[in-house]
Structure 1
Amino acid sequence: MSRVALVNLASLPMDGNEPIFPIGVRCVQDALDRAGHVTRLVDFVEAPDGVANLAWLDHDWDVIGFTIRNIDPIEISCGTHVDDYISFVERVRKELVRRGLDPLLVGGGPGFSLFASTLISKLGLDVGVIGPGETAMLDIAKNPRSFKGRGVVIQGSRHSGFLNDTLMHPSSLMGAYTSAHRAMIGVETRRKTCYQTCGYCPYAHIDGDNDGDLKPMDVLAEEIQGIHRAGFRRIFFTDGIFNSELRAAKQVVGLVRELALDGLTWSAYFTPKPFDEEFGELLNGSGVEAVVVSPDSLDDNVMRNLGKSFDTRHVLRFLERSRRNELPVRVNVVFGGPGETRESARNSARFINDNLADDELVLHVGYRILPATALSRQLKMDESRLLYPAYYPFDVDVFNWVIQDLDSRFITPGLMINLLAGRASARKMAKVEAAPGIEPAPGMTYLALAGRGGESGSGCHT
């Protein structure tokens, strides 16, 4: 038996950070608890004082695990969470030395998985885990000292408990997050490597080689009912793409309809195909809060460059079926992708103006380049250069194009502020050198917060 503290670094107070319920680390904690280990989840939404006083170190932990969900805020900015993580973990390590304690230090989580080989060194950890963490942490907890000082990275693997164990969360943690306005909690319905080939997306790398486990409907029903009893009224199904397997998605929606829990709404990430009429009819009246799709561009050439498995015809068909079934829709569009030109930006804006309602557009500018993605391979940029934000080369005039081309009904004060802030940040960010033989198109530059080698803070001009 080991004593394990799991620290949710995503709950640290940081600029641009909006903590969400820590579903991933709770899965790890539940697996350890069931195996007889003694655990504590350190979450700073639940216990804010723990950031400053580090009182949770009063126990003699055998293992301390740090989980990182996001590396930096989603919007282009001269900001990153990396330095906050490094600073906090360094404080913990110094305090452990002061107390004469020497637990095994482990890193994991989606954000950590992308930069495991870099972060394990920067954070001074003994072990890093890529992907699902339950099985790896169970192995580590059996004999923590055997991993001490090794500096190894372990690939997570399938955990059978996902199919057999109902995940019920501690009431104190639930209460901390339900107190937030319109609080939402994540629910897993399956674990399967995403079949999509989006060039910017690292989920396939994070998820690992997983043929796909579908959570039994009786287990899923218990989890949803427990969440509802705790006071949550909004859930998000965390599958990479909810309807990637249409038959399974229909079963989940059917279950939600059958449970008919008072006031419960839900949302998920969808794809425009497969999305048949029967699915649209089933979604109607299910309490779906938003059917979220991410074509990212609405120009067919850019969509192909992004590796999308669908085009604007499928998006139109999806919208038509959604309209017939009165479904609330959100469409994510990111300007500045591979091959974006003045004309492609006009095409996307024209599609938006002609086909989307005022509240259906979610807009961003710029693609953050992440390791283990097609974009990073195309640009030959390795993990260490990407730890601090670097963006796919684009023409900074794209901010002006958006304002010029979109109907005024989309240019809300909030969007205008974000666009102006993004443009200001982009102009302050440094140009970063490409790999030998790789050159951006004329008029386009790489933008990065970091200089060469990923040194913190060297890339924003004042």
Structure 2
Amino acid sequence: MARVALVNLASLPMPGNDPIFPIGLRCVQDALDRAGHETRLIDFVETPAALGDLSWAAGEWDVIGFTIRNIDPLDLTCDGHVDHYQAFVARVREVVGRGGPLLVGGGPGYSLFADGLVRRLGFDVGVIGPGEQTILEIVADPDAHRGSGRNLSGARFPGFLANDLQHPHSLMSAYVRRQGQVEGTMIGVETRRKTCYQGCVYCPYAYISGQNQGDLKPLDLIAAELHAIHGSGIRRVFFTDGIFNSELKYAKEVVRTIIEQKLPGLTWSAYFTPKPFDDEFAELLGHSDVEFVVVSPDSLDDGMMKVLGKSFGTRHVTRFIERAKRHGLELRMNVVFGGPGESRASVRATAQYVNANLATEELVMNLGYRVLPETALARQLSLADDDLLDPTFYPFDPDLFSWVIEELDSRFMSTRVLLNLMAARSSSKRMKKVPLPGKAPDGVAANFPYLALTRSRPDAEPVRQGLG
């Protein structure tokens, strides 16, 4: 039996960070507990004192694992989080001393930058992708990995199909208190583990999830998890699948399961795609108390959608909107301006579609595409993973902000939206400008810089950018 501490670095208080319930870390902890190991989860929402008082780190641990969910908030106005992670891990290392517990890194954010982070944070070993099976192998023989500085690939975990995930009441209560009320607290539920079939140029999801077996969680386990969440008093669930309806038959079965549980007041949401999405599915959703149907076309210009790697076009989005409204579904549509080759004409096309088809509250708008490793955007720009560790955005025309403000109806330009746009424009002007290496890709001017919010060297003094 091993003694393992699991630290949720995603719960550190950092500018732009909004901690969410640590589903991934709970999956790892549950796997360790079921295998007979002794564990403790350190979450700074649940135990804020553990941030300053590191006496917990001095325990007789065999392994201390650190999970990183995000490297930065993917927002033009926000700094990266790596300096905060580095500082905290350094404090822990000072407490445990040389020859102490094995230090292990993991999580989706870590997986993207594993080679750079294992060195920068000084972990003995790291895990890329799903971590349950690999952490079980690591804790079986910690000394075999001491000082290796290697990253191991995550593997399929059979327990995903056999075990329902029940969360500690104290951890759930902490997130309820943080969000102010039980009714407003949202918790994630995982229904499948399958590599995303979409080819979006900005998305690293397929790399993070790994080449898995396409496991679909049995419906009785999903029902058990929903009952436990409802029993805790939490009433909002988010299904964390990359795309909830990527396999429509199974998605319908999950929705039927939700309906059959008859859990009063339980609402849910997820990320959807406009196809496959038929009337039967829309009708089921209408009977299931779905809170929002969230879709991300990112652009509503057919040319831009193709460049972004979307497997659907505006005709599919239109059909989706018609079905959703016919069945009384609440929509949230994500649009991101500033992709490869974005022009005044493509902004205008997207704005005209939004103006004609969406209610004010249905649009969720952002500017700028964060370039992440293992994505087509990174390959287009010929940027190494280490070059992307600080917040880095795909080149866009400086007039993009003005185009958006001028083309979208004024009803979408609330005071909050305008302030966010102004803050983003101000931040973009202060960003470090770095020439593109080699030949610029199509749609990007040869002298166009890519944009980095902080200095690229970890030993340099960071440039702080505030939220406007």
| TM-score of the alignment, normalized to the shorter chain, above 0.5 | yes
* Greater displacement, 448-457 / 359-368: 448-457
* Greater displacement, 284-293 / 451-460: 451-460
Question: 2:291 is matched with which residue?
Answer: 289
Question: 2:307 is matched with which residue?
Answer: 305
After the TM superposition, which residues 284-363 of structure 1 pair with which residues of structure 2 at under 5 Å, given as runs?
A: 284-363=286-365
* Counterpart Cα distance in 1 of 2:86 and 2:456: 19
Change (3 A) 1:167 1:452: closer
Alignment deviations for residues 165-208 of structure 1 (CA, whole Å, 9 cap, x no partner): 11101111111112223111000010000000000000000000
* Counterpart Cα distance in 2 of 1:94 and 1:336: 43
- Aligned with 1:6: secondary structure? strand
Gaps of 5+ in 2: none
Write the letter of the residue equivalent to 1:151. G
Choose the corresponding residue for 1:398, options 390, 397, 400. 400
Maintained 8 Å contact 1:127/1:150: yes
Write the letter of the residue equivalent to 1:232. I
Question: 1:122 is matched with which residue?
Answer: 120
Q: Does 1:434 align with 2:436?
A: yes
Maintained 8 Å contact 2:191/2:222: yes
TM superposition shift of 1:459: 6.4
Alignment deviations for residues 344-368 of structure 1 (CA, whole Å, 9 cap, x no partner): 0000000000000010000000000
- Aligned with 2:188: secondary structure? strand
Choose the corresponding residue for 2:373, options 360, 368, 371. 371
Maintained 8 Å contact 2:79/2:464: no
Maintained 8 Å contact 1:395/1:445: no
> Taking structure 1 as the reference length, what is the TM-score of the superposition?
0.97
* Counterpart Cα distance in 1 of 2:449 and 2:459: 19
Question: 1:69 is matched with which residue?
Answer: 69
Alignment deviations for residues 194-253 of structure 1 (CA, whole Å, 9 cap, x no partner): 000000000000000013111111111001100111111000000000000000100011
Gaps of 5+ in 1: none
TM superposition shift of 1:394: 0.3
TM superposition shift of 1:455: 6.0
Change (3 A) 1:80 1:445: same
After the TM superposition, which residues 9-158 of structure 1 pair with which residues of structure 2 at under 5 Å, given as runs?
A: 9-97=9-97, 102-158=100-156
Q: Does 1:248 align with 2:250?
A: yes
TM superposition shift of 1:74: 2.9
Write the letter of the residue equivalent to 1:283. L
Maintained 8 Å contact 2:77/2:465: no
Q: Does 1:447 align with 2:451?
A: yes
Maintained 8 Å contact 1:428/1:460: no
- Aligned with 1:240: secondary structure? coil
Q: Does 1:165 align with 2:170?
A: no
* Counterpart Cα distance in 2 of 1:78 and 1:281: 40
* Counterpart Cα distance in 1 of 2:462 and 2:27: 38
Question: 1:2 is matched with which residue?
Answer: 2
Write the letter of the residue equivalent to 2:22. P
Write the letter of the residue equivalent to 1:363. M
Alignment deviations for residues 133-176 of structure 1 (CA, whole Å, 9 cap, x no partner): 00000000101111101011001010000000111011111111
Alignment deviations for residues 275-324 of structure 1 (CA, whole Å, 9 cap, x no partner): 01110111002111110000001111111111110011111110000010
TM superposition shift of 1:443: 7.9
* Counterpart Cα distance in 2 of 1:259 and 1:452: 51
* Counterpart Cα distance in 2 of 1:316 and 1:174: 39
* Counterpart Cα distance in 2 of 1:191 and 1:285: 26
After the TM superposition, which residues 216-235 of structure 1 pair with which residues of structure 2 at under 5 Å, given as runs?
A: 216-235=218-237
TM superposition shift of 1:433: 2.3
Maintained 8 Å contact 1:4/1:39: yes
Maintained 8 Å contact 1:44/1:51: yes
Change (3 A) 1:458 1:42: closer
Write the letter of the residue equivalent to 2:235. R
Write the letter of the residue equivalent to 2:297. P
* Counterpart Cα distance in 1 of 2:425 and 2:335: 17
TM superposition shift of 1:442: 6.3
TM superposition shift of 1:438: 2.7
Quote the sequence identity (%). 59
Choose the corresponding residue for 1:276, options 275, 278, 284. 278
Alignment deviations for residues 30-72 of structure 1 (CA, whole Å, 9 cap, x no partner): 0000111110000000000000111211311100000000111
> Taking structure 2 as the reference length, what is the TM-score of the superposition?
0.96
* Counterpart Cα distance in 2 of 1:177 and 1:424: 33
Number of positions where the alignment pairs a residue of Structure 1 with one of Structure 2:
460
Maintained 8 Å contact 2:5/2:40: yes
* Greater displacement, 75-84 / 330-339: 75-84
- Aligned with 1:393: secondary structure? coil
- Aligned with 2:341: secondary structure? coil
After the TM superposition, which residues 401-420 of structure 1 pair with which residues of structure 2 at under 5 Å, given as runs?
A: 401-420=403-422
- Aligned with 2:394: secondary structure? strand
Write the letter of the residue equivalent to 2:429. R
Alignment deviations for residues 96-125 of structure 1 (CA, whole Å, 9 cap, x no partner): 12xx66110000000000000000000000
- Aligned with 2:416: secondary structure? helix
* Counterpart Cα distance in 1 of 2:465 and 2:219: 53
Choose the corresponding residue for 2:211, options 195, 209, 212. 209
- Aligned with 1:92: secondary structure? helix
* Counterpart Cα distance in 2 of 1:345 and 1:175: 44
